[in-house]
Every structure is written in C-alpha cells, then in structure tokens.
C-alpha cells in the first residue's frame, strides 16, 4: 500500500506530548554544575572594571570568568555566510566582552555554581563599571554622518554592501507608470517554546567533549565550535535530538554554548546552561528589521516591467552565523516574486547597530521580499485602477514557461501559479465577497480582501551555489539506511528536524519504498556521533534534500536486495521486480521472496551471489541540482472596526503547492504554524527599542506572540506540481505560510480601508495605528 500522501499521525508525538521527550534541559548528569551569564544592561559602553570577588566567594560558586579569563581559550564566534563582492566586515563576536559591550544582552561574565540558583544569585554580586557610549539603534541613524561607530573598523556602520541585477534608468524614465514606496519590516523576536540550552561533558581521559545543545544543525555547530574551542572536530560530539522549535534562531552558533563547553573542559565536571525567557529576548537572534525602498515600473494595461529595490538591513551589533545571507541572497534573488518582471535590481546594505544581532527567522529574507512585491502589486493595481487579482492574472509566470529564468538569475523549477490562484479565489468566492463588501460599506462596515501569490526559494540548495554565494558550507544532505537482519530499519539523516515531524515523513518514505510498516522504521537525527555528516534543518530543505537522500539510499538498498533475491530465485536480476515488499520474478508470482527473507539472507550470507558483500545498508549524499520553488496563493478576509481600529480575521484561505506531499496532515500543520507567524508579524509582533538601545518589548507580557484563540479556522488545500529535479518531487512547506500570510493580511486591511483613502499601514497593525489612519482619512475628506 502506498504511504506517500497518507496523513499518518506523527510517530514522535506520543513521546513529546506525554513529557517523555529528552530536551537539552532534561539532561542531568552526575556532578553537574550550572552556569549563568551576566549580560550588559547597556547597549553601548566601555567596560572600565569588573569586580567578581564577591561572586567568587559566594556560597556554591565554583568559578567566575570574565572576558580576560577566557582570552586565548574561547575564540570569538565567527560568521559563516560571507556574500562575495560585498566588502564584508565580519567582525567576530567575542564570547565575553572585554573592553566594549555593543548591545544590551552582550555577555560580560560567566558564573558556574553547584546549583542554578547559586549561579543566578552570584550574578547580582558582580560589579561592572561601565562608561556609557552613545548608542545607535535604527539603521538610518547608524548610516548618518557622524553616527557613533559600533565597530571602529566598519566606517558608516556598513557591515556589507551587496548588489544583484541591473535596471537602466531609461526603463524607469520611459515607463508609463512608476510606483515608489518604502516598507518597514519591523524587527521580530523568534520565540520557540524551548529556550536555548547547553549541557557539556568533558572526558579528560579521552579528550572527548559531548555537547547537548539546542541546534537546528549540530554538524555545523560541531565544526564551528571545534574552531572556537580549539578542540579537534573528531573529539567533539554535538547532540540535538529533541529540540523544541527553532524558527531559524537555533541555526546560529552563540557564545553561550561555547562558554558552557569551555567551563566543562576547564572544571572537569559537566555544566548546564539554560537561558531564561528574559535572556532569550536579549541574547538570541532577532529577525527581519529592514527598511526597503521599492520602485516598480509597469504599463497602464497592467504589465509589470521592472523592479528596483534598496534594502537597508539592521544586522545588530555583530554578524550572526548566517545573517549576511538573509537580506542578500535569500531576499534579493526573489524580489521579483511569481511575476514575469523583465528587469530587476537589488541593492543591499547590512548595517551595524547597538542591538541584538539579527539572523534567519522563519522564511529568512523571503517573507520580506514577498511582502514588498505583493504590496507593490496591490499599489500598482490601485494606481492603474485595476483589480489586484487581474494584475496577478496578467503577470504570473505561465505554466508553459517552466523552467523559468527569472530576471535575477534563478531558474524556477516548476509551477502552475494560475491554478493555485484560481482555486483560492473560488474557495473564498472572490466576486461574491466583492459584492458583500460593497453592500456592507453602505452600512458602515468595512471588510477587506487581500491576496498574496508567492513563490519562494527553498530546498537549499545546490552546494555549488552555496559556494558561489558565500555560504561557508555545503548544502547537500546525507542519508544512511541500515536494514537489520529481521528486516527492521534504522534511517540516519543529516537533517535535524526540531518539530517538523520528519521522524514520521522520513519513515513514510522508507516504508513506502520497502513495502513495510511505518512502525518498522526508526529515524535517527541530531547526533554527530551517530550521523556521519549533515547540514541540518533550515530553508525548508529537509524533505526536499534530506528526504531525497533517503529515497536514493533506499533505492540502493532495494537494488542490492534485488541481486540477492535474483540469486535466491535463480532468475536474472533484470527479471526480478520489487513491489509492495516482495521481490518477484516478472510474470511468475509464485516465484517470490519477501523483503525480510532477502534481508536475512544478506546477513546470513550463506548463499550470496558471487562477489557480493554481506549486509544490507546504503548511504547517499544527495546534492540537489537546483533549489525548489514552492508557491501558492493565500487570501485573507478581514473586517476593520472603524471606531477602534481593531482588525478581525474573518476567513483565511491557503492554497499551497510544495510539490509532492508526503504527509498531508504534517504539511497542513506546517502551513498552519507558518500562517500564524506570518499573521503575527502583520498584526501583533514587533520589537521596540528605546533610543538608548533598551529593548522595551523584552518579555511575553509586552511582545505579543500569536495565540490560537486569535485565529479563525484556516481553510487550507494543496495543489501538487512536483519538483522535476529530485526523486521525491518534494519542494518544502515549512516557511510558505510565513512568507504568504503577512502581505495577504496587510493587503486585506488596506483594501478594507479604501473608503478612507488608506494606501499603506506600518506593521504591526496595532489598533491605535489603524484608527489613526482611518481618522486621517476622515479628516482628509
């Protein structure tokens, strides 16, 4: 029975929802110590002196370290994405600040104690005298002449300057219609349910260091931390099995995990560090924070011709691990969206400020790009007096155009953008809604309909491209499939799922191919000692790339089994077919052997074909030939309360195409979570700093994370246009919702407020802001 496309319940869930998961903070080792990190309360200051004497002598305290104490022992944390030709100033992040703190939350001292409480108490005993320095928070201010410098060697606070594409001025000067707008992508704070944590255990006898850490990519952490700590890579084991969400914030390598490992090595006892939620807000990477100027040129009859984009991205105080790739490659190459722009150009500045470093956050660059193009299409439609849906219909890449070479050099692999758009419109009854909207306006009620037809780059990605764009790693993925003598299977994947359900999806892929029950397949991930190599989970790559590696390895297992079965059946290998768990001589169903029988023979090796080695196991290292390009259309229907500015979500329809769907229930769950986060940016989320660099939204009391009760039931559906270049046809679904939802909501609210002449609204749409726009519109009339 085929298992691809079956909504099998998640096999990891009984473990996770009954509290039997083993997250990093659950690791308890004999003799374990606890670490706490003192963080700078100031955004920018010179450290004049640190007095740790009282903390060192406090009850239960084992050690206190400052930046000077770890000099030469813990190196700075490097940046691992260096876009070429961008004059990048990859100022590495010292694990503890020695002379200067550059953001509120920058680590200043490390306390290790017998208990977490003693470590926390000791933080209050450390006296640091700071000489305040002027801080700079907004990227525009940081670029101004005479602005305080975050790093002396980055003049103008410019961390990098990257460009792609070209549009001649003539295209714009000669255009029938030019629309210009500036969008603010507010800073977001990722909040996975599990905060970051690390437990380190050092074996002085062997020199082996085991680090349990909340990582989306333990092998990347291993290679980076081996450098930071000066420990040979083969002596370092990173374990990240159960990880409670990451959303990009657990890609980065942080000082804290390195400090925990250092403490374990220097004290010879296991050490645990777990961040508090307050620390998380300050010391774990943030996302977005870009100011984006866009110019769009088009024709009166609705054709989109050219787009020019300038992005000023706030990188925070240091360039986090993958951060430079976000506003450049992951943003810049997809600003043309799903449309046939002939010309496009992107100009990106990465700017240092005295704020928490930014890095990938679910979607990472692609939500920002999609937001601008989807908003611009609506603004353009209004400018030329055309329904925004018509503009989309006119300009979406047509099905026969694939593989489609985009103006920015990508090759969109496959798609039927029109089908997803029309299905979404039919689901909401677009024309009916337009009639209802007109009728309700007569009664002083304002509903709005917003659309977003996105395409994203996912399935990261060909390793050659990774190299060309400065990613300091490969982007292939590994799989190892070991069939045990009884026919049960262990799959080792280099992907590192942390909530996405690949223990189930990957078991489905293998069980489907082998014709065995899903329960016979175990998926192992997130442990560098058990998995040879892997690049981890981010960029919606795990199923498209890691799953494809598994499919290739599974086929290798089947092929070896076929040799054994042919020998057992005394048939030619070419005459043996494998289907539904049985090798069978073509046309002779009575001559067959089960997968299990063949496996057993592989291990017994009593009667193997000549020259064939025993055992049944295969590895694959799958390097994709292209990115994958999921797409779809989301439609939001909202009602705005004209007296309060409150936005109510009436309906939300999502039609997504992520290629072949392995498990529709899990895919739908990913869409739901993505939509929630995308709407979270549109309506509620946003970090606010004071001018002095204090994070004013530094807790869950101030920073509104979306909650289930804020939402209507989502109406989701999939179309399936397989990726043509990987064995599964799968594209990736982890980020689509986040990418599509934000502009759909803003387009809907702006649409609702047409009678008030509202052209744009700054996110998040806190009701007071919406009301102000309504009142301004009323006053204007």
Can you give the binding site for another protein, defined by CB under 8 A? 116-117, 120-121, 124, 276-278, 643-644, 646, 683-684, 688, 696-697, 700-705, 707, 710, 766-768, 771
Q: How far apart are the first and last CA of the chain?
A: 65
**What's the min distance (Å) between Cβ of 580 and another protein?**
47
Three-state secondary-structure class, residue 732: coil
**What's the min distance (Å) between Cβ of 133 and another protein?**
26
- Which segments within 228-358 are labelled E, that is strand? 236-239, 271-274, 287-298, 304-316, 343-352
Helix and strand numbers (H, E) in the chain are: 20, 28
Instruction: Please state at what angle helix 548-569 crosses helix 502-514, rounded to 10 degrees.
Output: 30
**What's the min distance (Å) between Cβ of 684 and another protein?**
5
**What's the min distance (Å) between Cβ of 707 and another protein?**
8
Q: Indicate the pairing of strand 45-51 with strand 127-132.
A: antiparallel
**What's the min distance (Å) between Cβ of 643 and another protein?**
5
Closer residue to another protein in complex, CB, 390/768: 768
Closer residue to another protein in complex, CB, 474/704: 704
- The answer to whether 628 touches 723, Cβ cutoff 8 Å, is yes
**What's the min distance (Å) between Cβ of 768 and another protein?**
4
54, two tokens: 């009282």
- Measured distance CA(752)–CA(593) in Å, rounded: 65
Closer residue to another protein in complex, CB, 619/771: 771
**What's the min distance (Å) between Cβ of 95 and another protein?**
23
- The answer to whether 101 touches 44, Cβ cutoff 8 Å, is yes
- Measured distance CA(131)–CA(50) in Å, rounded: 12
Closer residue to another protein in complex, CB, 108/557: 108
Closer residue to another protein in complex, CB, 166/276: 276
Q: What are the residues whose beta carbons fall under 8 Å from the beta carbon of 390, sequence distance 6 or more? A: 302, 381
**What's the min distance (Å) between Cβ of 53 and another protein?**
21
Classify residue 147 by its DSSP letter: P
98, two tokens: 């020695």
- The answer to whether 745 touches 636, Cβ cutoff 8 Å, is yes
Measuring CA to CA, which residue among 698, 743, 750, 780 is closest to residue 366? 743
Closer residue to another protein in complex, CB, 286/525: 286
Closer residue to another protein in complex, CB, 270/764: 764
H-assigned helices in 347-459: 366-384, 388-395, 417-428, 430-441
For 176, phi then psi, to 5°, come to -70, -40
Closer residue to another protein in complex, CB, 59/140: 59
Measuring CA to CA, which residue among 221, 191, 244 is closest to residue 12? 244
**What's the min distance (Å) between Cβ of 292 and another protein?**
24
271, two tokens: 């050490």
Closer residue to another protein in complex, CB, 194/527: 194
704, two tokens: 């509104």
Measuring CA to CA, which residue among 323, 399, 321 is closest to residue 365? 323
Angle at 280 between CA 279 and CA 285, to 5 degrees: 125
Measuring CA to CA, which residue among 626, 635, 682, 157 is closest to residue 388? 635
Closer residue to another protein in complex, CB, 204/709: 709
**What's the min distance (Å) between Cβ of 116 and another protein?**
6
Closer residue to another protein in complex, CB, 355/414: 355
Measuring CA to CA, which residue among 472, 434, 392, 375 is closest to residue 632? 392
Closer residue to another protein in complex, CB, 329/695: 695
**What's the min distance (Å) between Cβ of 701 and another protein?**
4
- Measured distance CA(170)–CA(178) in Å, rounded: 12
**What's the min distance (Å) between Cβ of 705 and another protein?**
7
Closer residue to another protein in complex, CB, 32/705: 705
Closer residue to another protein in complex, CB, 431/696: 696
- The answer to whether 345 touches 164, Cβ cutoff 8 Å, is yes
**What's the min distance (Å) between Cβ of 706 and another protein?**
8
Kindly report the number of other CB atoms within 10 A of residue 149's CB atom.
17
**What's the min distance (Å) between Cβ of 319 and another protein?**
29
Longest CA pairwise span in the chain (Å): 91
Place of tokens 């159960």: 242
CA 403, chain centre distance (Å): 25
């Amino acid at each position: 029975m085929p298992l691809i496309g079956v909504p099998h319940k998640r096999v990891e869930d009984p473990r996770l929802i009954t509290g039997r998961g083993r997250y990093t903070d659950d690791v308890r080792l004999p003799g374990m110590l606890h670490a706490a990190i003192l963080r700078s309360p100031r955004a920018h200051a010179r450290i004049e002196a640190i007095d740790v004497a009282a903390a060192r002598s406090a009850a239960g305290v084992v050690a206190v370290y400052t930046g000077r104490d770890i000099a030469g022992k813990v190196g700075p944390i490097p940046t691992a994405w260096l876009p070429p030709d961008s004059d990048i100033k990859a100022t590495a992040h010292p694990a503890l600040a020695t002379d200067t703190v550059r953001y509120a939350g920058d680590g200043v001292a490390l306390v290790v104690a017998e208990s977490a409480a003693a470590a926390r108490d000791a933080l209050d005993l450390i006296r640091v005298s700071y000489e305040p320095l002027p801080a700079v928070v907004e990227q525009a201010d940081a670029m101004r002449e005479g602005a305080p410098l975050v790093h002396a060697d980055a003049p103008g606070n410019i961390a990098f300057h990257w460009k792609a594409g070209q549009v001649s001025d003539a295209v714009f000067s000669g255009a029938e219609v030019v629309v210009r707008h500036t969008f603010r992508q507010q800073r977001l704070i990722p909040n996975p349910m599990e905060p970051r944590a690390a437990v380190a255990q050092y074996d002085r006898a062997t020199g082996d260091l085991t680090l349990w850490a909340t990582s989306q990519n333990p092998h990347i952490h291993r290679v980076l931390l081996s450098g930071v700590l000066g420990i040979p890579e083969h002596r370092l084991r990173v374990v990240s099995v159960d990880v409670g969400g990451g959303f990009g914030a657990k890609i980065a390598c942080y000082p804290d995990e390195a400090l925990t490992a250092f403490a374990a090595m220097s004290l010879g006892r296991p050490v645990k560090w777990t961040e508090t939620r307050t620390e998380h807000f300050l010391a774990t990477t943030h996302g977005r924070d870009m100011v984006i100027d866009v110019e769009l040129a088009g024709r009166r009859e609705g054709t989109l011709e050219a787009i020019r984009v300038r992005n000023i991205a706030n990188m925070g105080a240091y360039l986090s691990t993958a951060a430079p790739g976000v506003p450049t490659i992951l943003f810049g190459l997809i600003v043309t969206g799903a449309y046939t722009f002939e010309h496009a150009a992107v100009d990106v500045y990465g700017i240092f400020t005295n704020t928490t470093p930014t890095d990938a956050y679910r979607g990472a660059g692609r939500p920002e790009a999609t937001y601008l193009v989807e908003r611009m299409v609506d603004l353009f439609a209004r400018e030329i007096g055309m329904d925004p849906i018509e503009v989309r219909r006119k300009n979406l890449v047509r099905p026969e155009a694939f593989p489609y070479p985009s103006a920015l050099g990508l090759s969109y692999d496959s798609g039927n953008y029109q089908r997803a758009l029309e299905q979404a419109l039919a689901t909401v009854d677009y024309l009916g809604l337009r009639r209802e909207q007109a009728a309700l306006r007569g009664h002083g009620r304002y509903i709005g309909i917003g659309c977003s037809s996105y395409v994203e780059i996912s399935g990261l990605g060909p390793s050659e491209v990774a190299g060309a764009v400065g990613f300091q790693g490969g982007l292939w993925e590994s799989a190892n499939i070991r069939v045990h003598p009884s026919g049960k299977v262990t799959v080792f994947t280099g992907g590192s799922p942390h909530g996405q359900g690949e223990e189930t999806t990957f078991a489905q892929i293998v069980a489907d191919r082998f014709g065995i029950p899903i329960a016979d397949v175990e998926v192992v991930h997130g442990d560098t000692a058990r998995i040879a190599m892997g690049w981890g989970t981010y960029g919606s790559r795990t199923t498209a790339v890691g799953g494809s590696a598994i499919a290739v390895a599974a086929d290798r297992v089947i092929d070896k089994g076929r040799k054994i079965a042919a020998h057992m059946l005394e048939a030619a290998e070419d005459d043996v077919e494998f289907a539904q768990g049985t090798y069978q001589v073509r046309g002779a169903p009575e001559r067959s052997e089960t997968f299990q029988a063949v496996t057993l023979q592989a291990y017994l090796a009593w009667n193997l074909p000549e020259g064939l080695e025993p055992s049944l196991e295969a590895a694959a290292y799958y390097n994709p030939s292209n990115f994958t390009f999921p797409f779809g259309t989301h439609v939001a229907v909202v009602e705005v309360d004209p007296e309060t500015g409150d936005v109510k979500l009436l309906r939300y329809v999502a039609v997504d195409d992520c290629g072949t769907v392995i498990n529709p229930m899990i895919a739908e769950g990913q869409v739901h979570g993505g939509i929630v986060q995308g709407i979270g940016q549109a309506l509620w989320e946003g970090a606010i700093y004071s001018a002095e660099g204090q994070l004013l939204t530094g807790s869950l009391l101030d920073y509104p994370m979306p909650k289930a009760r804020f939402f209507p039931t989502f109406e989701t559906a999939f179309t399936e246009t397989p990726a043509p270049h990987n064995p599964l046809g799968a594209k990736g679904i982890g980020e689509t919702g986040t990418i599509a939802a934000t502009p759909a909501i803003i387009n809907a609210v702006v649409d609702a407020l047409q009678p008030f002449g509202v052209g744009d609204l700054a996110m998040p749409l806190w009701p007071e802001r919406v009301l102000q726009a309504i009142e301004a519109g009323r006053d204007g009339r």
